[in-house]
Amino acid sequence: MAEPELVDVVVLGLGVGGEEVAGRLAEAGLTVVGVERDLVGGECPYWGCVPSKMMIRAANAVAEARRVDGLAGTAQVTPEWAPVAKRIREEATDDWDDRVAVQRFTDKGGRFVRGSGRIDGPGRVRVGDQVFQARHGIVLGTGTRPSVPPVDGLAETPYWTNRAAIEVEELPASLLVLGGGAIGLELAQVFARFGVRVTVVEALDRVLAVEEPESSEAAAAALRADGVEIHTGVKAARVEHGAGGFTLRGTEGEEFTAERLLVVTGRRAHLDELGLDTVGVDASGRYLPVNDRLHVTDGIWAVGDVTGEGAFTHVAMYQASIVVADVLDHVRRADGGADPSGTASVVGGAVGSASSLAATGSSGAAGSVPRADYRALPRVTFTDPEIGAVGLTEQQARERGINVQVGFTRLSSSARGWIHRTDEVGFIKLVADADQGVLIGATSAGPAGGEVLSALVVAVHAAVPLTQLRHMIYAYPTFHRAISDALRNLGR
């Protein structure tokens, strides 16, 4: 067995969260080994957020051009997929090559190891023949993979997950999308706008089921307007694939056919691969439970999708800043004793200087590491209209026994919505805690729903009193001005 190599920290998985933690700890002067088996950067830049939003940008341009009719004359649009695929290949992903990302990490002083790593006892990580002993800790940023339902026959077919859908160079004539969550709807709308005959099949009784029912209605209406067929309440029983493409059969005898099948029914962490048993951590759950400083257990932190706290890049980045601060705090305590001023340099050569620690932006002082707080977790479904949401839905708030007040307004009844004309489904919905006099949740659906959301995120995050929200000035005629109408309607 190879002699373990002593380092400060090992980061397993260099997706969004792991890369951020590893890079910042290396910049702080720690000896950091970053292990990645696939591409540094993870799902978001290569098969997730970035390329999917490039596709959406292109599809929205097509849709906007089609709106010229009736507003500004006539326009003929001939959508072509080739420029979209080229942009994804060349600009977003470097043809799915991570050389730039690897160098970004090594330029910060990190040591990169390509391979699949697993924990091999306390503080120890094994990657093939290499074994590292981490003096200060291990950070797990191993993300998730698509969760494919156990539908009869499915595993034997060449179904797509998000990766094939993002990499596609030539569009199929027709596409079945199994799963009506955010990713399924975003991709369904894109492909429909490029002329693919798209059918969405969802097991629950509405698409976008984790959001407000009004959001589900808005998304479904918008997609149907783009020609997407939506079938809810359909439980997939069997999938077949042959020369004619895919056939999906539901438990009630429903039948859908298409050239391609995209399965987007959620994602799951693969904890069983991480060697957690060697450190006494239960690996049987769907995700890795963490506390509010992202500790899994002594000397092990987790970050990003693997924690199950929200499968979003902004959650991974938010958690990463807490992990960085906490690891550095831990290093100070371990090497120099608690140092409330945060100015002591770490002994043992692990940290070069006090200023390098300060440069990480961590608060420095022991005990002042920020705690994770997900009350104001924002999420945006980038359909057109965009559907942004923060905090609790009305139903979640009622289930918690909160004295709920709801305020609702349609964008079409606001000046900007009326001027815009093309948005019939946009709305603002506010969920307030009437006893506390603050917003605890909100949804903003509309042409810039994700941007309008920012004001609502601040309101929920900072618990801005409703009285203050009612007495501030909202620019006319913006989409966000509809927030003041929804506030007026609270409790009505």
Ligand X SMILES: Cc1cc2nc3c(=O)[nH]c(=O)nc-3n(C[C@H](O)[C@H](O)[C@H](O)COP(=O)(O)OP(=O)(O)OC[C@H]3O[C@@H](n4cnc5c(N)ncnc54)[C@H](O)[C@@H]3O)c2cc1C
Where do contacts with ligand X occur on this chain (CB under 6 A)? Answer: 12-13, 15-18, 35-38, 42-44, 48-49, 52-53, 116-118, 141-144, 162, 183, 273, 304-306, 311-314, 316, 382
Nearest in space to 302 (alpha carbons), one of 328, 320, 286: 320
Tokens of 272: 């069983």
Q: Measured from the CB of residue 170, what is the shortest distance to ligand X in angstroms?
A: 19
Of the candidates 371, 336, 375, the residue with the CA atom closest to the CA atom of residue 357? 336
Q: Give me the least distance between CB of 23 and ligand X, in Å please.
A: 12
Which two structure tokens, joined as six digits, stand for 487?
């506030």
Closer Cβ to ligand X, 10 or 63, answer by number: 10
36 within 8 A of 105, measured Cβ to Cβ? no
Rounded to whole angstroms, the Cα distance separating 385 from 309 reads: 26
CB of 40 to ligand X, least distance (A): 7
As measured in angstroms, the least distance from the Cβ of 411 to ligand X is 22
Name the minimum Å distance from CB 289 to ligand X: 15
In order of 203, 267, 283, 315, 482, the CA distances from 149 in angstroms are 11, 10, 20, 26, 40
Shortest approach of ligand X to residue 120 CB, angstroms?
12
Question: What tokens were used for 228?
Answer: 């997407």
Both tokens of 454, joined, read 């920012």
We find the least distance from the C-beta atom of residue 19 to ligand X, in angstroms, to be 7
- Our CB check for ligand X shows the closer of 48 and 245 to be 48
In the complex with ligand X, the residue whose CB is nearer, 303 or 430, is 303
Structure tokens at 423: 């948005």
Total residues found in the chain within this entry? 492
Which lies closer to ligand X via its Cβ, residue 141 or residue 364? Answer: 141
Tokens encoding 216: 């589900």
Q: Considering the complex, what minimum distance in angstroms separates the CB of residue 16 from ligand X? A: 4
Which residue has its beta carbon closest to ligand X? 15
C-beta closer to ligand X: residue 223 or 306: 306
- Closest CB 35 distance from ligand X, rounded Å: 5
Q: What is the CA radius of gyration of the chain?
A: 24
Output the smallest distance, CB 98 to ligand X, in A: 9
Question: With contact defined as beta carbons under 8 Å apart, do 411 and 459 qualify?
Answer: no
Asked if residue 39 lies in contact with residue 338, where contact means CB atoms within 8 angstroms, the answer is: no
Instruction: Give the closest residue to 226 by CA, choosing from 89, 78, 383.
Output: 383
Minimum CB distance to ligand X smaller for 53 or for 398: 53
Distance from C-alpha of 384 to C-alpha of 453, rounded to nearest angstrom? 15
Choice between 141 and 426, CB closer to ligand X: 141
- Cα separation, 286 vs 296, in Å, equals 14
